[in-house]
Amino acid sequence: MKISKSFKIYIHIILVFLVSQSLNSTEDFSKNIVIHEKPLIIKELKFKDFNLQDVDLTNKKGNIMIINFWASWCLPCRQEHVLLTQLSKEKNLKLLGVNFKDKKKQAEMFLNELGNPYDFLTKDELGKSSVKFGVYGIPESILVNKDLMILKKFVGPLSTEDYDSIVEIIN
C-alpha cells in the first residue's frame, strides 16, 4: 500500500503534538489541591458572626490563614477536625472557620463535642459568601498568605499529606 507524502507529514505532526502534550502535562497527583494559574487575592473577609451580626475580618490579614468551610451536618468535616485542631497549635497560622448553611445550636454542639480550633468563627447562613471564595461544597479549606493571596485550596477533607504541606509552608 502506498502512503502519500502529505499523509506522512500529517501523521508526523499529530505525533509531535501528542508527545509535546504528554511532556507538558503537569498533572498533580494530589487531586484535591487546586493551584491557581494566576495568583488570586481575596479583597475582603466580610462575614456574619453566630449572632448574624456583620463582621469584617479583612484587618486580620498579616497572618498566614486557613479559611475553613465546615458544617455540623458534614461527616468529612468531623474527619478533618482532628487535623484542624493540630493546625490550631501552630503559632504562625490563624484559622478562620466559616460555618456553612448550618443551624447555630447544632454548630455549637459540634464544637463543644470536638473542640473549637478556630481563631475566628463566622457563619454563612445561605452559602452566598462562600461563592466569593469559589467554594464548591464542604469541607473546603483555603490557605492564604499575609496579603490574603490564595496559596492553595483544598477541596474535600484535609488529609495528612495536606497537613504536612501546610506545616511546610508556614514554617
Partner 1 sequence: MKFKLLMIILLLNFSLVNGEEKKVDQNTIHKNLRCLVCQGQSIADSNSDFAQTIKLVVKDLIKDGKTESEIYAFMADKYGDWIVFKPQVNKQNFILWFLPYLALVLGGVIIFFLFKRRRN
- Contacting partner 1 (CB under 8 A), which of 137, 149, 163, 169? 137
Q: Which one of residues 127, 145, 149, 159 is an interface residue with partner 1 (CB under 8 A)? A: 127
Q: What would the grid cell of residue 59 be? A: 484587618
* Interaction between residue 126 and partner 1 (CB under 8 A): yes
Cell digits of residue 124: 454563612
Give residue for cell 484535609.
158
Please report whether residue 104 would count as binding partner 1 according to CB under 8 A. no
**Does 133 engage in binding with partner 1 (CB under 8 A)?**
yes
Closest to partner 1 by CB, 19 or 126: 126
Q: Which stretch binds partner 1 (CB under 8 A): 86-94, 107-115, 122-130, 159-167?
A: 122-130
**Contacts for 129 with CB less than 8 Å, ≥ 6 apart:** 46, 47, 98
Note whether 136 binds partner 1 by CB under 8 A: yes
SS3 17: helix
Contact status, residue 148 vs residue 40, Cβ threshold 8 Å: no
Q: Which residue spans within the chain are E strands per DSSP?
A: 33-34, 46-48, 54-56, 64-70, 93-100, 120-124, 140-144, 150-155
Binding characters for partner 1, 50-89, by CB under 8 A (x = yes): ----------------------------------------
Q: Which is nearer to partner 1, 76 or 127 (CB)?
A: 127
Coil vs helix vs strand at 114? helix
User: Which chain residues interact with partner 1 by CB under 8 A?
Assistant: 101, 126-128, 130-134, 136-137
